[in-house]
């Protein structure tokens, strides 16, 4: 079964600093990978996705992620954190029936 592991349940960065949220996947087939963001008491919003093609994927709000098959990773980055980036971030991989298997999430705190 396809699965993802997010390293670090909480990440804290200063405003303007690099954001790096880690996600490793396990899959017996070429994976389709996603990053979602969730603000408190809201649903999930898609940040970006990797299906096939270019391994560096750009998403909304200045985020990007790079698919690295050799490292089984799909880490999320943003060059300069903004206060509005504070949220919960979820990595996910497509599983059976097109459902998604989610990681446990990483809470991003941005300090002034």
User: By the criterion CB under 8 A, which residues form the site for another protein?
Assistant: 9, 32, 34, 36, 41-46, 49, 51, 90, 94-95, 97-105
Phi first, then psi: give them for residue 34, nearest 5 degrees.
-140, 155
Are 95 and 25 within 8 A, CB to CB? no
Q: Which is nearer to another protein, 16 or 102 (CB)?
A: 102
Work out how close the CB of 98 gets to another protein at its nearest, in angstroms, rounded to a whole number: 6
Supply the minimum distance, in Å, between the C-beta of residue 16 and another protein: 29
How many angstroms separate the first and last alpha carbons of the chain? 41
Q: How far is the CB of 104 from another protein (least distance, A)?
A: 4
Quick check: 110 and 85 in contact, CB under 8 A? yes
| Cβ neighbour number for residue 52 with a 10 Å cutoff | 8
CB of 57 to another protein, least distance (A): 13
Residue number, 41 or 112, with CB nearest to another protein: 41
């Amino acid at each position: 079964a396809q699965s993802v592991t997010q390293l670090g349940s909480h990440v804290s960065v200063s405003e303007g600093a690099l954001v790096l949220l880690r996600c490793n996947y396990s899959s017996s087939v070429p994976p389709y990978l996603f990053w979602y963001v969730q603000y408190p008491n809201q649903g999930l919003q898609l940040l970006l996705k990797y299906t096939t093609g270019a391994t560096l994927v750009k998403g909304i709000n200045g985020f990007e992620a790079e698919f690295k098959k050799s490292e089984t990773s799909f880490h999320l980055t943003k060059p300069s954190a903004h206060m509005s980036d504070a949220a919960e971030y979820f990595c996910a991989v497509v599983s059976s029936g097109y459902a998604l298997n989610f990681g446990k999430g990483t809470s991003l705190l941005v300090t002034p």
